[in-house]
Amino acid sequence: MDCRHRAGASDCPSPQRRGNQRPLNTPKLTNLDSCPKPDQGEYQVSTAPEHNSPVIRERENAGENPTFFYTLWTIFKRSQIVERSEAAAAEFDALIEQLAAEGAIVRGIYDVSAMREDADVMIWVHGPAAELLQASMRKIRRSALLEGTEIVYSTMAVHREAEFAKDHSPAFARGVDAKEWMTVYPFVRSTEWYTMDPAERGKMLRDHGILGREFPNVLANTVAAFSFSDFEWQICLEADDMIDLVDMMRHLRYTEARHHVREETPFYTGRRISAAQVLEVLK
């Protein structure tokens, strides 16, 4: 306890000895006013960061310049009737190449029209930095191809260790080619999920994973959305046949882990298309 808070104390007590250990460099003080402040002499408080964080150690072990895999899904809807030319599609293809040279990869353009009343086109882009994706999406939004549209939904996330498998990495981060169909949705667990017995939680996740392996044609992209938005995770599934996505989502309902799902909407689903096909979608 600081001597200034001890009633009747006229001197600052010297630190208590432990065994034969002698206190080092301990000033002998004679009155309360001479008690050293935390920012004086021997009693300075270290401002150096502590290195007992496993998260920080993990980043340090990743090397001097670790690569992060950020991803962004942005959905547009038609808000105005605009005549778009084939030149607008060609310019968009050139923009995709330009963004790739800058490090932002457009994984796909998707026709999400008629799946919901508030969506027509989705753009999926990924890259090594959040600010890069922000800048890339601004360029996409300003393109002639998307003139007369407005953003109705946008969500960013980043690859971190997945809860169901420590060695899982998203398909887009591994460089796996995109499939024809995709669905993306947010995911929020119950508060009890994170504090339950790890063995119990692990069993639920293993059972969930076993069912998921029955759909080898489906690519999984599970990424962390903590602090990016109102959600904890973003999940994007890809398949060449839409029916595979339907059956997998239905099949995975039959697991104990479902009891700990609190939120997993909205869903946005679409087919991968070219920039030229966007002309027809937005007509």
Q: Per the annotation, where are the binding residues for Fe-coproporphyrin III?
A: 208
Who contacts 95 (Cβ-Cβ below 8 Å, separation ≥6)? Answer: 139, 140, 143
Cα–Cα distance, 154 to 79 (Å, whole number) = 17
Q: How far is CA 115 from the centre of its chain?
A: 25
**Helices (H), ranges, 213-272:** 242-251
Query: Is 70 a residue of the active site?
Result: no
Cβ–Cβ under 8 Å, residues 199 and 243? no
Cβ–Cβ under 8 Å, residues 267 and 246? no
Helical (H) or strand (E) element with 203: helix 198-212
Q: For residue 231, give both structure tokens.
A: 């959600």
Q: Which residue has the tokens 């930095």?
A: 129
Annotated binding site: 208
Who contacts 232 (Cβ-Cβ below 8 Å, separation ≥6)? Answer: 186, 187, 188, 189, 224, 225, 226
Q: Which of 209, 166, 152, 163 has its CA nearest to residue 188?
A: 163
Cα–Cα distance, 123 to 110 (Å, whole number) = 6
Cα–Cα distance, 176 to 153 (Å, whole number) = 25
CA distances, 189 to each of 63, 118, 142, 256, 260 (Å): 32, 26, 36, 13, 6
From 43, 70, 110, 185, the catalytic residue: 185
- What residues are annotated to the active site? 185
